[in-house]
A and B are shown apart, each in its own frame.
Chain A
Amino acid sequence: MHSTETLRSHGTACPATSADGGCTDDQIAGDGYTCRFEQGARPESLILNMGPQHPSTHGVLRVLLELDGEYIVRAEPVLGYLHRMHEKMAEVKTPAQFMPNMGRVDYLHALAWNWAYVGAVEKLAGIEIPERAEYLRVITCELNRISSHLLWWGAYLLDLGAFTPIMYAFDDREMLLDLLQLMTGSRLTYSSFRFGGVYTDAGPAFVQGVRQFIPHLRSRLPMYTALVTENIILRRRIEEVGVIPQDMVTRYGASGPVARGSGIAYDVRRAEPYSVYDRFDYEIPVRHEECSMARYMVRMAEIEQSLRIIEQAIESLPEGEHMHPKAPKPSFKLPAGESYFAVEGARGKIGVWIASDGGKTPYRVKLRAPGFSNLALFAECARGTLLADAVAILGSLDMVIPEIDR
């Protein structure tokens, strides 16, 4: 009896009118979660529900804010609006059946997730990969990283109120998508890596296209710097905004450009080398300003470094098979045991841990999404900033909500 009454008072459209004390917060009507987000010590504060349908929370992130004027007293991200149980699905699907899921965890850097899962399975089952396939993985994965950074760049500027850069970013990204379509057959949710290689071999059209794309993008980047990066309004908006000290990075386990923007030179490609990354000459961009601008500069520099890697890889692309002749059939069984494989995604360290009991499907799979850790520090980072800064900080973390919710 008591429970139904509680339910009813929570379910009313307007808790302010239900004076039975079921819901003490009369600022947000709605579910139990928001009712627990009560007003703090300041009676004049305003509780604002930002998202899940908000233009700059990119997808379905919801942030509960307690505002004093436009200053943020408290911010709390609410997750779970896009939870699709990828980890559970991994337990009921064979590794080959699960592959398409990996293109849908982080749809902007799908190939890194492809790689993390394929790598973990290969490590556990002891599957060998031909050298050509390793090179093709590096090339496609780096192309995908550039497309992810370009989209972030456009969307971030959109958050800051500049409408035009995203059109230019999409213009370049379109060429990348065409190239990746040749190799993977899809334009967004790629699942082209296979256990023991990659699905398609690179034809002359792809190689030629990549060779043409590199100088094209290099010729565009100075324009972006001149038009956007050096714009005084942009600099004022994001310099010294959203400062993330190094200890905050380590406490929350942030990685990727968020960590590198705070002076921590951690990149999985360099720190825990995998595949053939150790054969290429490239730099890990690091900035020490710890602010949103530092993360911005790190990503822009990463585009250039990715181009360097692709350039070297495409020139030294070895001949040979794109699938190992002894690659297993899709119905293979994983041997019992555990394995962990980490790759550097556009947003940070992507980790896949597989535990298998020797059955057809893995016993348990854990996906380590970098966006989750990166977003976790938002609550601490946004405290005391302005509402407009919160948008600038959220954008600089480069969130992909499907990856965070998984």
Chain B
Amino acid sequence: MNATISFDSVLHVVLALVGVAVFVGLNGLLLVYAERKVAGFIQRRPGPYEVGPQGILQAVADALKLIGKQLVRPDRADPLLFWMAPVLAFFPVLLLFLPIPFSPLLTGWDVNLGLLLILAFAGFNVLALLLAGWGSNNKYGLLGAARAVAQSVAYEIPLLLAVLAIAFQEGTLSLSAIVGGQGGMPWQWNIAVQPLAFLIFFVSALGETNRAPFDLPEAESELTAGFHTEYSGMGFGMFFLAEYANMIVACSVCTVLFLGGWKGPFLDGAWWFLAKVYGLLLTMMWFRWTYPRVRFDQLLNLNWRWLLPLGVLNLLATAFVMKL
């Protein structure tokens, strides 16, 4: 990676951003469809099948409906904060895709501190949720925002600890280098060396992306819709897309750190990466349609009493072994 900023590298990043936007948009549609089909499969019903063959156009119809709807702002909501929130929720996520190595050739921006970049920009999400809840002048929204902040801040710590364990082990923050340090076979992946870190990372990622059973900021049976209670149309659509984009990022990072990235037993390439990411995404969906929601104090207890001490112990053990 050349440190000087040339026209080529800027062009490369811009192209990568466009590519990422397309990737996220298409995946949003795909994942909405997949989520509903998975839910249907788990609940012994067909899921969407009216719009297009096997309901494949259902997500497109949903998207068109959301785009076509009027944007409504509650009377006493703060216009600036209210409209800033969905934008802030969605656009920083695109940046998160830049350093992710889909394959050696298919990397937006192979930066040395890729992991740091992702962790830094991922923090934007909680700001967006806070603004949405606070700005919409709704009590359910406010409660949702308060939950979102407490949850995101808490779960970022074990997430970081799990990531640090891998960074210590590999001695780098570059995502490509971390993949490079792993082999093709499953027992050569980091998950074989660091199963505890993987567990902590995945649970924390569920918490960070507000997915069930940790979907407390939008717990619909308690807070109607939590932080996005007042959003409709594309305001809601942006949050929705951001949630799926965040899921993809979390699963991608998980794949890079623990599952050997683009490497597989044969024919290394982006398909291995995508297969692993979609596998993790399906696991997340499977959790959502299986488990009840935890209570807020239990959520924080799980974090402070279990994930955090385990993360610290794991990190210490890793550092100790590395020193040997």
Contacts and interface: CB of A to CB of B under 8 A. Distances in A.
**Bound pair: A and B?**
yes
Interface of A: 46, 48, 54-56, 70, 157-164, 167-168, 171, 231, 233-234, 236-237, 386-389, 391
B182 to A, nearest CB: 33
Contacts of B294: 233, 236-237
Interface in B219-246: 219-224
Contact of A161 (B143, B219, B224): B219
Interface stretch (B40-48, B116-124, B258-266): B40-48
A92 B223 CA distance: 43
B213 interface: yes
Contacts of A55: 220-221, 224
Contacts of B139: 46, 48
A195 to B, nearest CB: 42
Contacts of A157: 292
A237 B297 CA distance: 11
A160 B224 contact: no
B17 interface: no
B44 A158 contact: no
A157 B292 CA distance: 7
Most buried by B among A161, A162, A388: A161
Contacts of A163: 39, 43, 288-289
Interface in B192-226: 212-213, 215, 219-224
A70 B143 contact: yes
Given A161-B221, A171-B44, A388-B296, 11 more contacts: A55-B221, A70-B296, A158-B221, A163-B288, A164-B42, A164-B290, A233-B213, A237-B293, A386-B297, A391-B221, A391-B222
7 contacts: A55-B221, A160-B293, A162-B291, A164-B43, A233-B213, A386-B295, A388-B222
A158 B78 CA distance: 33
A233 B42 CA distance: 19
Given A167-B44, A386-B295, A161 B289 contact: no
Contact of A233 (B44, B288, B291): B291
B4 interface: no
B283 interface: no
Nearest to A159: B221
Contacts of B2: none
Contact of B295 (A158, A162, A389): A389
Contacts of B6: none
Nearest to B288: A163
Contacts of A387: 143, 222-223
A55 B229 CA distance: 12
A365 to B, nearest CB: 36
Interface in B266-324: 288-298
- 10 closest A-B pairs by beta carbon, nearest first, are A161-B293, A167-B43, A162-B292, A56-B221, A160-B292, A388-B295, A159-B221, A161-B292, A233-B292, A234-B292
Interface string B29-54: 00000000001001111000000000
Nearest to B294: A233
Contacts of A389: 295
A55 B213 CA distance: 18
B290 A162 contact: yes
Interface in B35-90: 39, 42-45
Contacts of B288: 163
Contacts of A48: 139-140, 143
A237 to B, nearest CB: 6
Contacts of A237: 292-295, 298
Contacts of B215: 161
